[in-house]
Structure 1
C-alpha cells in the first residue's frame, strides 16, 4: 500500500471535516500552506508544510516535514533553521528536460520529493523512479484527479512511494485511501484441450521482455475479452539444450494463409 498524502490547501470551508475524515481513514500525511491547519493533527499523521513563493513561514513545532518549492532553493538553508526538527523536502514541477533532471536529483538526495508532471505520460516518472532506485528518500507524485491514483501506484510495477491528491469535499479522503489499497484480483483459468494442429507456415514471432521475474506457468494472457484469453507461458520451463529466459514471454503470432484468413500461431 502506498503513502497517502492529502493536500487540503483548496478545501475551503470543508477543511475541518476533511481533516477529521483523514484522521479516521489513517492517511499518512496532510499537507497545507498554513501551520494552523496542522496543529490539531495527531502524531499518527505526518504534518507537512508547503512553502512556495512569497513570505517565509513562521517557525512552529507542529510540522514534521517542510516541502520547499524548487524556485526557493536559495532559501532552503534559512527554512531549515526555522524548522530544525523537520525533514526538508522539495517540490518540483516537471515541464521540460531541465526540471526533469532537477526532479531526479531531488529523488536521489532529498528526504522527500513531491513531483508534479505537466504532461500526462508516465515516462518522465519512470525516469525519476529509475534515478531514485536504492535512495533513502521518498518520492511523492501528485495525482491530477482521483482515477490517476491507481496508475501512479503501478508505474514500473512498483509506482512511486506515495501519491498526493488535492481534496475539496468530504468523502474524497475515503475514496483516495481505498484506491491506494487496490489490488489485481485473481483470475480463474480453465484448462483447454488442443484437438488439432495444422502447419500454416512460419508466421511472425513476438517476444515481450517484462520488468519482473516470471516463474513457471506464468506469462501473458493473449487474446480478447470478447472471445477469450489464452495464457502464453514464459520461457522459464527447463530445457535440455538452453537455459530458460528470466523474464520473457512469447505470445501468439499471426500468419495470413492463402485463403486470406489470419491464423494464430505460437512458438
Structure 2
C-alpha cells in the first residue's frame, strides 16, 4: 500500500495531531522534536538526516535518486518534480517518495505509470487536505470495470457455512464486495446499508457468501472467503466501479440456508451461493440493492468478468475451468 508522510517542520503540535488523526504513516521532524511527535501517537518518525532529498534540476538528478533508492535510503523528490523524470526513476527503483502541496498533486503522484510513487510527503501548507489525501492515496484503489448480467436462475441450495465480513468502515449505498464461485465471474454483493421493519441496517457488514467462494482483493488478488480474518484489508467496490480499502474487524462463519444464484453476460455465465435472507442483496446497474428474496430471472445485476486462473490468489496464465 502507498504511504502518506507528513512534514512537521517547523514543529506545530496541532498539525502533528491532525496528521496522526488523519492516518499518516510517518512524520518527518527535526531531531529535537522527534520525541514530542512520538508522545502524541504511535507512528514512525524520521529526521532530514535519515533521508535523501533530491531536487530534479537535471538528468543527473534522476540517477542520484535511483542510487539513493538502491542504497536503501528514504528518497524524496522535492516540490517541483515533473512526471517524466518520476517515470524514469520508477522504472529503475522502488520506494520513491515525492513532496506534495495539495490533493491534486498527491493523486497525480499516486497514479504515475498506473503504479504511482510509494509515498507522498505532505507539506505543512497542505495540512487542510490531509484527510482527503490519505483517503485518496491509501484507500482508493482506482476503478474496476463492471458489467451488467442477467439473472438466469435462483434456487434453494440447502444449508451451508456462510461468511459475514464486518469491516471497520461504514459503507454506503451502492458499495459491496465482489464474490463468486469463479474468479472469472464475481457478483457485486451489496453491503447491509438498508434497514427493513425487522432488522436494522448494518452498514459495516457484507454478508458475502459461502466459505468456498472467491472474493476479489486489493492488488489483483483473490482469496477464499473462509480465509479472511480480522485485520485483513478487503476491496470495497461501488456500483460505478470505484474501489477502496476497508479493514476487517471480524468475520462470522455460521450455518445458514443458502441460495444458488446464476447470471449471464453476453460472453459468460457465473454463479454465487448467498444466504437465503431478505437482508442479503446484490446490486442493480444503477446502484440500487436488490434482495435475493425478491430477485427474479431476467433481473439485471452488476458483475465483474475476468480471465480464470489463480494460484494462491495470484493471477497465472493457465487453462482452467471453474464451475
TM-score (norm 1): 0.49
Higher relative contact order (CA 8 A, sep 6+): 2
TM-score (norm 2): 0.41
